[in-house]
């Protein structure tokens, strides 16, 4: 399975344009400032349509949220991305990226996090980096 960890606009764009990429993980990563009247969540309607067309799924990394201080801001951006994915029929995953076994979460916890974000039936994926 090919996945790319997102962040910059150029990385997010290249990932959803490429049909060889299976999952774009955390497109909201590294976003500091929001726009004047909207959130800077890393996805927009154009990228969501491209992801749907090229069958690129969007992943939401639980450990990324867990290790931040601004959790509320990131969760708000993730919720916006979930709404975009649902609107344009983009497949979504809740991911757990771990470096060691201490940070690993069980599947029920990750599904609960997905439901908090607004996913109906979240799919879970675990990977090590």
DSSP assignment of 66-92: HT-S-HHHHHHHHHHHHHHHHHTT--E
pLDDT tens for each residue of 52-104: 999 999 999 888 888 788 888 889 889 999 999 999 999 999 988 877 777 77
Q: Tell which wins on pLDDT, 89 or 36.
A: 89
Q: Please state, as a whole number, how many other Cβ atoms lie within 10 Å of the Cβ of residue 43.
A: 25
pLDDT at site 129? 61
| Contact by Cβ (8 Å): 24, 59 | yes
pLDDT at site 128? 65
Going by the DSSP 8-state scheme, the letter that residue 100 receives in this structure is S
pLDDT beyond 80 at 127: no
Dihedral angle of Cα 49, 11, 83, 79, to the nearest 10 degrees: 180
Q: CATH no. for residue 76?
A: 3.20.20.140
pLDDT tens for each residue of 104-115: 788 888 899 999
Residues 21-29: what's their mean pLDDT?
A: 90
pLDDT beyond 80 at 124: yes
Domain count, the chain: 1
**For residues 2 and 34, what is the distance between their CA atoms, to the nearest angstrom?**
29
Domain range for 20? 3-31+38-128
């Amino acid at each position: 399975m090919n996945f790319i960890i997102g962040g910059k606009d150029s990385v997010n764009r290249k990932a959803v344009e490429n049909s060889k990429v299976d999952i774009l993980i955390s497109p909201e990563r590294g976003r500091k400032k929001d726009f004047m009247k909207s959130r800077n969540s890393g996805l927009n309607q154009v990228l969501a349509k491209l992801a749907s067309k090229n069958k690129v799924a969007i992943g939401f990394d639980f450990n990324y949220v867990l290790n931040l201080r601004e959790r509320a801001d990131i969760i708000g951006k993730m919720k916006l991305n979930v709404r975009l994915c649902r609107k344009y029929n983009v497949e979504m995953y809740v991911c757990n990226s771990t470096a060691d076994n201490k940070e690993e979460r069980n599947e029920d916890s990750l599904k609960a996090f997905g439901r908090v974000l607004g996913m109906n039936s979240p799919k879970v994926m675990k990977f090590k980096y």
